[in-house]
Structures are given as C-alpha cells and as structure tokens.
C-alpha cells in the first residue's frame, strides 16, 4: 500500500495491510489538530521509503515524543517509534479508496 504527504514530496510503501487505531491523548490531538489521531504502527521491515527523506523535518519533545513533517507542505509523515523496530504511520497519508477498519481497544 502506497502513501504520501499532501504535496507528494515524501512517499512510502507499506508491505503489509495496516491495522488502524485512534489515539485521543493530548499530544496526538495537538499534532493532528483534531479530536483524535488515526494511525498505524508497522514493523520497520514492512515499511519502505520511496522518496523524500531530505524533505522531512523533525521536532522532538523532551519526553521523547517525536513529530516528523514534510518541510514543504507541513503534513505529518511516518517516523520511527523511539528505539523500537516499528514505524508510526498517519493513516490519512495512505493512498486508495480501500476501506480500512479501526481496531477497538
């Protein structure tokens, strides 16, 4: 499954079908500017950058929370989850019209 930021400068591919979740914590609400953040977490070996690494900016909070974004359009983009073998991927960047369900906690 392919994905990209709003302007297309940053592009990536998921080599797995994503399982989405919604987070309502204050960090995720502020990062996305909405009442929740819908995303997926994939194993790093199931994620591939296609282009645009040089277009990615990053901001890291003292607690370790990291927010990566496209320097051209400001769109949040995938980023590694601290020191884990996983990548956080905002679901709104995924291309296509295939319905993706949200996991329930």
**Residue 104 forms part of a structural domain:** no
**Residue 76 forms part of a structural domain:** yes
**Residue 58 forms part of a structural domain:** yes
At 58, phi and psi to the nearest 5?
A: -145, 145
**Residue 86 forms part of a structural domain:** yes
* pLDDT confidence of residue 103: 64
Q: How many domains does the chain have?
A: 1
**Residue 77 forms part of a structural domain:** yes
At 23, phi and psi to the nearest 5?
A: -115, 135
**Residue 101 forms part of a structural domain:** no
Span 23-77, pLDDT tens digits: 787 877 877 777 778 889 999 999 999 999 999 999 998 988 899 999 999 999 9
**Residue 10 forms part of a structural domain:** yes
Distance, in Å, from the CA atom of 5 to the CA atom of 55, rounded to the nearest integer, reads 10
Indicate which CATH number applies to the domain containing 78.
Answer: 2.170.150.70
Supply the range of the domain harboring residue 15. 2-93
The DSSP H or E segment spanning 27 is: helix 26-32
Distance, in Å, from the CA atom of 51 to the CA atom of 27, rounded to the nearest integer, reads 27
* Entry pTM: 0.87
**Residue 98 forms part of a structural domain:** no
């Amino acid at each position: 499954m392919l994905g990209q930021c709003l302007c297309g400068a940053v592009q990536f591919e998921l080599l797995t079908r994503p399982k989405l979740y919604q987070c309502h914590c204050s960090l995720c609400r502020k990062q996305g500017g909405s009442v929740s953040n819908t995303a997926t977490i994939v194993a790093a070996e199931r994620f591939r950058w296609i282009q645009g690494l040089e277009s990615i900016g990053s901001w890291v909070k003292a607690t370790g929370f990291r927010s990566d974004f496209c320097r051209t359009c400001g769109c949040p983009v995938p980023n590694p989850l601290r020191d884990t073998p996983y990548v956080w991927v905002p679901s709104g960047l995924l291309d296509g019209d295939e319905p993706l369900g949200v996991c329930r906690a």
